[in-house]
Amino acid sequence: MASDGLLEQLANAKLPFVRKLQLAALAELDYWEDRRDPPNLSIQEFRSLLNYIPAGLQPSWRERESSSGPHGDTGETQVFKFEFEVSILGRRSRYFVKGYFFDADRCRGVTIQSFRRISLPRLRAV
C-alpha cells in the first residue's frame, strides 16, 4: 500500500505528467505484460526505463475503451499514449506506452496497457 506522503504528492493537480507517472508506478502498478512474440516487454523493463522518460513529455489522451482489470471501473476514463527514445551504452531505441491512472477521484496508481519497443537498439551514427 502506498504511503500517505506518496498519495499526497499524487493528489497535487500541478504535478507534471511524467513525475505523476513515476510516482503512481511506485505507489501501485498494474501492468499488462504482453505474451505475443515479439515484442514481449516485461514489467521489469518498464520499471527500469521509467526514469528515462523525458521530464517535460506530454502525452496524447483519448477515451478509454475497456473497463477490465482490477481498476478498470474506478480508473480515469482517459488513457494516455506517448513514445520516447532511450540511449544507453551508445545504443538508441524507441518505446510506446499506453495506460491510465486510477482511481479517477484520487490518484493512487497506474495501469499500463501497452509497453512496446518500436525500434530495435542501434548504435548511434558517428
Partner 1 sequence: MKHCEHPQVRTEMVKKEYFGEQFTAKGVVCAECEAILWDSKLQEKFNDWLIRLDASKRDKFTIQFSLTERALECLEHLAKQFPGVNDSQILRALAVIYFNKVAPNPEFARRIESITESDVFKSLLTGEKRRSKVHFKPSALLDIHSWAKIVDLPPSRLLEESILRVFSVYIENDPEMKEFWKANILPDLELILKAS
Q: Is 6 in the site for partner 1 (CB under 8 A)?
A: no
Q: What Cα–Cα distance (Å) separates residue 77 from each residue in 1, 104, 111?
A: 23, 7, 12
Identified binder of partner 1 from the candidate list 17, 32, 61, 84, rule CB under 8 A: 32
Among 60, 70, 73, 77, binds partner 1 (CB under 8 A): 70
Binding to partner 1 by residue 69, rule CB under 8 A? yes
- Judged by CB under 8 A, does residue 47 bind partner 1? yes
Phi/psi for 50 (5° steps) reads -55, -40
Nearest-angstrom CA–CA distance, 68 and 65: 9
Neighbours of 26 (CB within 10 A): 17
Q: Quick count: other Cβ atoms within 10 Å of Cβ 65?
A: 8
Tell me: does residue 16 bind partner 1 (CB under 8 A).
Answer: no
Q: Is 49 in the site for partner 1 (CB under 8 A)?
A: yes
Could you list the residues that contact partner 1 (CB under 8 A)? Answer: 28-36, 41-45, 47-49, 51-52, 64-66, 68-70, 86-91, 93, 96, 98, 113-114, 116, 120-121
